[in-house]
A = this chain, B = another copy of it.
Amino acid sequence: MKQSRPAPTLQDVAVYAGVSTATVSRCMNTPAKVTAKTRTRVEDAIETLGYAPNFGARAMAAQRTMTIGAVIPTMENAVFAKGLQAFQDELRQYGFTMLVACSSYRPKLEAEQIRALVGRGADGILLIGHERDPAIYRFLDAQKVPTLVTWAFDDTAPRPSVGFDNRKAMAKLAQHVTKLDHRHLAMITAPVATNDRAAARLAAVGDVMDAEGLVRADLFVVETPYSIDNGAAALDLILQQRPETTVVICGNDVLAVGALRQARGMGLSVPDDLSITGFDDIDLAVVTHPLLTTVHVPHRQMGRAAAQMLADMVLTGAPATKVELATTVKLRDTLGYPRQSQAAR
Residues of A within 8 A of B (CB): 1-8, 49-50, 52-60, 63-65, 74-76, 78, 81-82, 84-85, 88-89, 97, 99-102, 104, 115-116, 118-121, 123, 138-139, 141-145, 228, 254, 257, 260-261, 283-284, 286-289, 314-317
Contacts and interface: CB of A to CB of B under 8 A. Distances in A.
A229 B89 CA distance: 21
A81 B75 contact: yes
A283 B81 CA distance: 15
Given A49-B142, A53-B119, A54-B60, 19 more contacts: A1-B315, A2-B314, A5-B143, A7-B143, A50-B141, A50-B143, A52-B118, A52-B119, A55-B59, A55-B119, A55-B121, A56-B57, A56-B58, A75-B85, A76-B78, A88-B102, A283-B284, A288-B288, A289-B289
A108 B131 CA distance: 39
Contacts of A60: 54, 56-57, 60
A283 B230 CA distance: 13
A143 B85 contact: no
The CB with the most chain B CB atoms within 10 A, among A88, A123, A260, is that of A88
B144 A7 contact: yes
A85 B78 contact: no
A63 B57 CA distance: 11
A57 B7 CA distance: 17
A291 to B, nearest CB: 10
26 contacts: A1-B315, A2-B64, A2-B123, A2-B144, A4-B144, A5-B145, A7-B142, A7-B143, A7-B144, A8-B142, A50-B143, A52-B119, A54-B121, A55-B59, A55-B119, A56-B57, A56-B58, A56-B65, A56-B120, A56-B121, A76-B78, A78-B78, A97-B101, A99-B99, A228-B283, A260-B287
